[in-house]
Amino acid sequence: MEQQTRTISNISSHHAAQSTAELLRQLVAHLRQNRTQLREEWARRITEARLLTAMTKDEIFAEATSVYDNYVEALETGTFEALQAYARNLSERIIPRGVETHEVIGIVLLLRDVLARSLFAKYQNDFALLNCILDAYEPAANRIANTVAVGFVQERERVIREQQEAIRVLSTPVLQVRERLLILPIIGVIDPQRARQLTEQLLRGIRTNRAKVVVIDITGVPVMDANVANNLVQTVEATRLLGATVIITGLSPEIAQTLVTIGVDLGKMNTVGDLQGGIEEAEHLLGYKVVPSGEAADQQLRT
């Protein structure tokens, strides 16, 4: 053993003279020569590890080929832009298929392993050289694994943000109940982003429906911090700029307090106890006069 170690240290100083670039070149050549069998082995191990179950064997092999080639190219050129672009592209394709983060990281690590083992096999008679090759391979391989994994995660986060956005849009309906009258029932806790969205949707709704009165019902809002209260005030002001009046209903004592705290003059704000009352007030403002259903419809006056 000691003999071997001494031998290694003698030889390694010789091999160390070989530059990293030269070693990488040898490595890349090896990976290209053995492309077919290494790809196959990798694809096999992916299936064994039960990764990418959302994809067929053929699909896995096709993607494995692309990843392999990009991997080798990144090793060869030392630049990662192409790999980054590919990683984003790959992520865009496989995320809708339900591929998860652990699978992507898993397959990249498997590839590292497959390639490393093939290096062990090739250079098993020359540990010193193997050491040098691994020294050159390791940082590059790590960077590649990182690039692919990070690319995937970022794309996934982008998709999640988009989905959250879509949910927000769906969950804030602006309802037209009468001509020129819109109702915006708000339910749940509002964060600043949702508040912004509500305001935008409401303003667009006012324009589309030519609304003159808007009833914003916050009965279903348990709490409101100063920031969101500010957003509410801004919404009222923006609505006025579009020539409409706002009636706020369902104002709890707590939220009323918050508004007062941020300097809102509640006397100037048009508030009514509940939604029903708010709608009646709105109709009054619009000049509707609702008569009991017993009397003829033509008695509904519009002053």
Partner 1 sequence: MDGEREALALHAGASVSLTHGGDVVAAEAAVQIQGDTDIVGARQKGRMLAATLGFSSSELTLIATAISELARNIVLYAKQGEIILRLVERGGQRGIMVRAKDQGPGIPDIRRALQGGFSTSRSLGLGLAGVRRLMDEFEIESRVGFGTTVTARKWKR
Partner 2 sequence: MEVPILKQGPYLIASIQSALSDADLLQLRDAIVQQVGMFRSRGVIVDVTALDVMDSFATRTLRDITFMIRLRGAETVIVGIQPDVAFTMVQLGLKLEGVPTALDLEEGIAFLDKKGPTAGKEASARGR
Binding piece for partner 2, criterion CB under 8 A, among 30-38, 150-158, 165-173, 197-205: 197-205
Q: Specify the residue, 147 or 239, whose C-beta has the smaller distance to partner 2.
A: 239
What gap in Å lies between CA 71 and CA 84, rounded to an integer?
Answer: 11
- What is the pattern of x (binds partner 1, CB under 8 A) and - over residues 125-164? -----------------------------x--xx--x---
Cα 219 to its chain centre, rounded Å, is 31
Spatial neighbors of 259 by CB under 8 A, at least 6 apart, are 229, 232, 233, 251, 266, 269
If binding means CB under 8 A, how many residues of this protein chain bind partner 2? 18
Q: Decide if residue 173 touches partner 2 (CB under 8 A).
A: no
* Segment 243 to 272, residues that bind partner 2, using CB under 8 A: 243-244
Q: Which residues pair with 214 in a beta bridge?
A: 182, 246
**Following CA atoms 173, 174, 177, 183 in sequence, which dihedral angle do they give, to the nearest 10 degrees?**
110
Per DSSP bridges, beta strands 181-187 and 175-178 are antiparallel
Q: Decide if residue 179 touches partner 2 (CB under 8 A).
A: no
Binding residue (CB under 8 A) for partner 2 from 28, 116, 153, 238: 238
If binding means CB under 8 A, how many residues of this protein chain bind partner 1? 6
CB neighbour burial string for 165-194, b if at least 16 within 10 angstroms, e if fewer: eeebeeebebeeeeebbbbbbbeeebeeeb
List the strands of the sheet with 181-187, edge to edge: 175-178, 181-187, 213-220, 245-249, 271-272
- What is the pattern of x (binds partner 1, CB under 8 A) and - over residues 176-215? ------------------------x---------------
Provide the 8-state DSSP code for 243. Answer: T
If contact means CB under 5 to 8 A according to the sort of partner, which of partner 1, partner 2, none does residue 161 touch? partner 1
Q: Specify the residue, 161 or 289, whose C-beta has the smaller distance to partner 1.
A: 161
Binding site for partner 1 (CB under 8 A): 154, 157-158, 161, 165, 200
Binding site for partner 2 (CB under 8 A): 199-200, 203-204, 206-207, 210, 212, 234-235, 237-244
